[in-house]
Amino acid sequence: MPRELFITTDISVTLWVLNQNKKGGDYHGRKLRNRAYEILFIDLRQWREHPVKGENKKKVCFITEQIEKAADIYHTWQSQGTDGAKYEEPELYRSVRIAEMANKGWTLTPSKYIEFIDHDLDIDYDKEMLRIQKEMKEVMKREKKSQQMLEEAFRGIGYGIDGI
């Protein structure tokens, strides 16, 4: 969940929904598949936050469409016809089998299983580093000039700065 969703804490919170009824079958008019030995991780930290109107303290709440989207992700995962082994959307959710969790030391951190895309892949690092290098040369040149002016000012009032 995103930061500042709950009034008692401003950190992001992990919400666990535990369900031992994963064998599948008919449930309230829906056909559910067998989800035994699977866990669905959903990471909502990146969802756009909506401030609560009329509140002095910044809090976040989900709009109806976001709540419906989260419920749809869960209900689709439960439904027959969904392949739990391939049920995922990068940066949002992923279905994980127990064997994979065992291989990762039983960690329950969603980011260990959900794929996150490196959005910096399109950066031309050589070009960017040359730009940064040029900027740093200018900064260092101005710094050196400032340092010389400071030394001259101290000498001008009769006090030198030794050891530089």
Are residues 93 and 151 part of one domain?
Answer: no
Structural domain harbouring 139: 121-164
Handedness of CA 49, 52, 57, 59 (dihedral sign): negative
Q: How many whole angstroms from its chain centre is CA 102?
A: 23
Nearest-5° Cα angle at 124, 90 to 140: 125
Report how many domains make up the chain: 2
Are residues 103 and 80 part of one domain?
Answer: yes
Q: Is residue 34 part of a domain?
A: yes
Query: What would the pLDDT profile of 13-46 be if each residue is shown by its tens digit?
Result: 777 777 777 888 888 888 888 888 888 988 887 7
Q: Which residues pair with 93 in a beta bridge?
A: 42, 89
What pLDDT is attached to residue 112?
Answer: 86
Final residue of a domain: which of 112, 134, 149? Answer: 112
Q: Which of 109, 81, 86 is CA-nearest to residue 97?
A: 86
Q: Is residue 17 part of a domain?
A: no
Whether 80 contacts 34, CB under 8 Å: no
